[in-house]
């Protein structure tokens, strides 16, 4: 099969791949995007499970760079459902005529750096080969599914589906369903399907703290306000920490009276949004144990008030820190007031095995199920990379380099992997994702523009990565998030070494750092002549 040569190859056609393609095409480069999926969308192509929606508000869960589109593209609700986000990404790809540079149903198999020619040699699942001077991985944070290792899973005769590989149009009406996992995804699935399944058994290992999302139809007056203020809105988002469109609090929780604390928690519970509740109420919920416990007590009390059956309420009330990615929902706890919805606490009665007809727990109960839904999450961030062979200088693979934990310079570059850039790689900011994607894409575009002009290779220095990772560690040192076994610290996968996956210094500081690099001498990058 004939080899094709490009200036840049982008892997992934979600938010990141779409914007990167547009920018590099504007630089005048020949660009090819490949994606394993059948069309654009990335995360939003795969995650078609019932109830899937973004938990960032619609007005900022989109690209910021097309103002006319921002003001005219419809969004009916405060939160966008999976189908809405997918339609939006298709709309952008079509509007900018980007699909002609995209090849779908094509999975990256390997990428090897040719040290003599200074190019990447790429093999894909179709048997084709490509060469490219730049390799950009836009693989997303969460794409490699995590499947639980349950004894007897192969014996089960019913249907079994991971939420991130949901069969299109699959109807759950009248079925006896079981959901394993009660994270962000599990909460959304359970909330959505409870009303139409015959029975719903929720297998929960750790309960999580969830607050209302505050979803609802968008009032035309609100839309008009947003349209008239988009410049200021994006300015605020880019100069905030988590980029969720609200002002982060600067007030420590224990510095106010108990009554005032209660009032602030209640006000934010009513407004809705998980990130707002964690970061907009007080500044130290994620860092200070006492402050954290105040938020926990408030949410536990709410769960107790919503869920009528005390036994169910007790199982749903977490007792550990509120220190995972904050969740919000459209009436999750309310579903447990339905008679057809039950909860199994896996810490009290773990799953012992799957049988032909369902799931057996340690109390000897066999839960008979027509369908088992795996809402068990992802091998996040580096899991997307280590399943393919990416070989840099001296024959060393990324997997080998990341044996003791995935690290990078700025969440974007890895020493030893010249002219390769990651979007949302390890050690990038912990935020609403599209504003971070835009920041990184613009940085990568500037870097490639510089490399084209100066005819040099771009490769991060070891010391620059070490210093960046050290900074990430210092910032995260007191984070209560470290105590939870969640994907945020790469601690949700059995056998995987937990590591620091994010820069918790906020988008504003991250952007300031990248700007300094772009406007300076490309600090942290080696000066290597590309013609060498």
Give contact residues for ligand NA7 (rule: CB under 6 A): 142, 148, 180-186, 205-206, 325, 346, 375-378, 485, 487, 492
Q: How far is the CB of 352 from ligand NA7 (least distance, A)?
A: 12
Instruction: Work out the angle between the directed axes of helices 230-238 and 433-454 (0-180°, nearest 10).
Output: 80
E strand or H helix at 313? helix 310-316
- Take residue 410 and report the two structure tokens written for it: 């700025």
**Residue 375 vs 446, nearer CB to ligand NA7:** 375
**Residue 103 vs 485, nearer CB to ligand NA7:** 485
**How does DSSP assign 68-109, residue by residue?**
HHHHHS---BSEEEHHHHHHHHHHHHHHTT-GGGEE-S--EE
Q: How far is the CB of 148 from ligand NA7 (least distance, A)?
A: 3
**Residue 32 vs 424, nearer CB to ligand NA7:** 424
Q: Are 140 and 155 in contact (CB under 8 A)?
A: no
Query: Cβ contacts of residue 514 below 8 Å, gap of 6+?
Result: 410, 439, 443
**Residue 46 vs 409, nearer CB to ligand NA7:** 46
CA–centroid distance for 400 within its chain: 24
- Separation between Cα atoms, residue 254 and residue 282, nearest integer Å: 9
**Residue 55 vs 294, nearer CB to ligand NA7:** 55
**Residue 180 vs 448, nearer CB to ligand NA7:** 180
Parallel, antiparallel or unpaired: strands 389-391 and 420-422: unpaired
Closest residue to ligand NA7, judged by C-beta, is 183
DSSP label of 253: G
Number of Cβ within a 10 Å radius of residue 101: 18
- Take residue 252 and report the two structure tokens written for it: 């420590």
Q: How far is the CB of 434 from ligand NA7 (least distance, A)?
A: 13
- Separation between Cα atoms, residue 90 and residue 81, nearest integer Å: 14
How far CA 92 is from CA of 74, 95, 97, 205, in Å, comes to: 13, 5, 8, 40
Q: How far is the CB of 10 from ligand NA7 (least distance, A)?
A: 22
Q: How far is the CB of 205 from ligand NA7 (least distance, A)?
A: 3
**Residue 325 vs 389, nearer CB to ligand NA7:** 325
DSSP label of 512: H
Q: How far is the CB of 71 from ligand NA7 (least distance, A)?
A: 28
- Take residue 440 and report the two structure tokens written for it: 């990184």
Q: How far is the CB of 287 from ligand NA7 (least distance, A)?
A: 19
- Separation between Cα atoms, residue 371 and residue 364, nearest integer Å: 20
**Residue 132 vs 486, nearer CB to ligand NA7:** 486
Q: Are 328 and 273 in contact (CB under 8 A)?
A: yes
**Residue 124 vs 243, nearer CB to ligand NA7:** 243
Number of Cβ within a 10 Å radius of residue 107: 15
Q: How far is the CB of 327 from ligand NA7 (least distance, A)?
A: 8
**Residue 29 vs 53, nearer CB to ligand NA7:** 53
Q: How far is the CB of 170 from ligand NA7 (least distance, A)?
A: 18
- Separation between Cα atoms, residue 202 and residue 344, nearest integer Å: 6
Q: How far is the CB of 201 from ligand NA7 (least distance, A)?
A: 13
């Amino acid at each position: 099969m004939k080899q094709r040569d490009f200036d840049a190859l982008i892997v992934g056609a979600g938010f990141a791949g779409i914007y990167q393609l547009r920018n590099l095409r504007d630089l005048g480069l020949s660009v090819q995007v490949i994606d394993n999926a059948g069309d654009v969308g990335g995360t939003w192509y795969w995650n078609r499970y019932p109830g899937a929606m973004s938990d960032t508000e619609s007005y900022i869960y989109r690209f910021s760079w097309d103002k006319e589109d921002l003001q005219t593209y419809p969004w009916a609700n405060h939160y966008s459902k999976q189908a809405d986000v997918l339609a939006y990404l298709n709309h952008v790809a079509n509007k900018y005529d980007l699909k002609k540079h995209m090849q779908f149903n094509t999975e990256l198999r390997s990428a090897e750096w040719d040290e003599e020619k200074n190019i990447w040699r790429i093999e894909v699942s179709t048997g084709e080969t490509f060469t490219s001077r730049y390799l950009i991985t836009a693989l997303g944070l969460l794409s490699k599914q995590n499947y639980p290792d349950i004894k007897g899973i192969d014996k089960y005769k019913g249907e079994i589906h991971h939420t991130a590989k949901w069969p299109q149009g699959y109807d759950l009406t009248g079925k006896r369903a079981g959901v394993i996992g009660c994270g962000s995804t599990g909460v959304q699935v359970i909330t959505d399907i409870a009303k139409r399944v015959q029975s719903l058994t929720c297998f929960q290992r750790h309960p999580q703290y969830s607050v209302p999302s505050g979803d609802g139809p968008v009032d035309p007056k609100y839309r008009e306000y947003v349209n008239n203020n988009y410049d200021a809105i994006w300015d605020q988002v880019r100069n905030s920490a988590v980029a969720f469109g609200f002002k982060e609090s600067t007030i420590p929780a224990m510095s106010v009276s108990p009554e005032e604390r209660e009032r602030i928690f209640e006000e934010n519970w009513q407004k809705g949004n998980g990130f707002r509740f964690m970061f907009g109420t007080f500044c130290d919920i994620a860092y200070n144990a006492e402050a954290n416990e105040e938020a926990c007590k408030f949410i536990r009390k709410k769960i107790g008030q919503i869920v009528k059956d005390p036994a169910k309420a007790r199982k749903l009330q977490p007792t550990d820190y509120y220190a995972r990615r904050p969740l919000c929902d459209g009436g999750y706890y309310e579903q447990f007031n339905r008679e057809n919805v039950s909860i199994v606490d896996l810490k009290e009665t773990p799953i012992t095995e799957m049988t032909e007809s369902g799931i057996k727990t340690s109390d000897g109960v066999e839960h008979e199920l027509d369908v088992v839904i795996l809402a068990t999450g992802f091998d996040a961030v580096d899991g997307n990379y280590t399943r393919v062979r990416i070989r840099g200088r001296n024959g060393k693979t990324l997997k080998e380099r990341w044996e003791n934990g995935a690290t990078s310079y700025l969440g974007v570059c890895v020493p030893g992997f010249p002219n390769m850039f990651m979007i949302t790689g390890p050690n990038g900011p912990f935020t609403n994702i599209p504003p971070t994607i835009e920041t990184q894409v613009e940085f990568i575009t500037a870097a490639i523009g510089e490399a084209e002009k100066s005819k040099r290779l771009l490769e991060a220095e070891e010391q620059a990565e070490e210093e960046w990772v050290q900074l990430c560690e210092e910032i995260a040192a007191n984070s209560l998030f470290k105590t939870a076994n969640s994907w945020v610290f790469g601690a949700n996968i059995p056998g995987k070494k937990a590591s620091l996956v994010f820069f918790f210094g906020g988008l504003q500081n991250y952007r300031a750092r990248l700007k300094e690099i772009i406007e300076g001498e490309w600090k942290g990058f080696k000066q290597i002549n590309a013609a060498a």
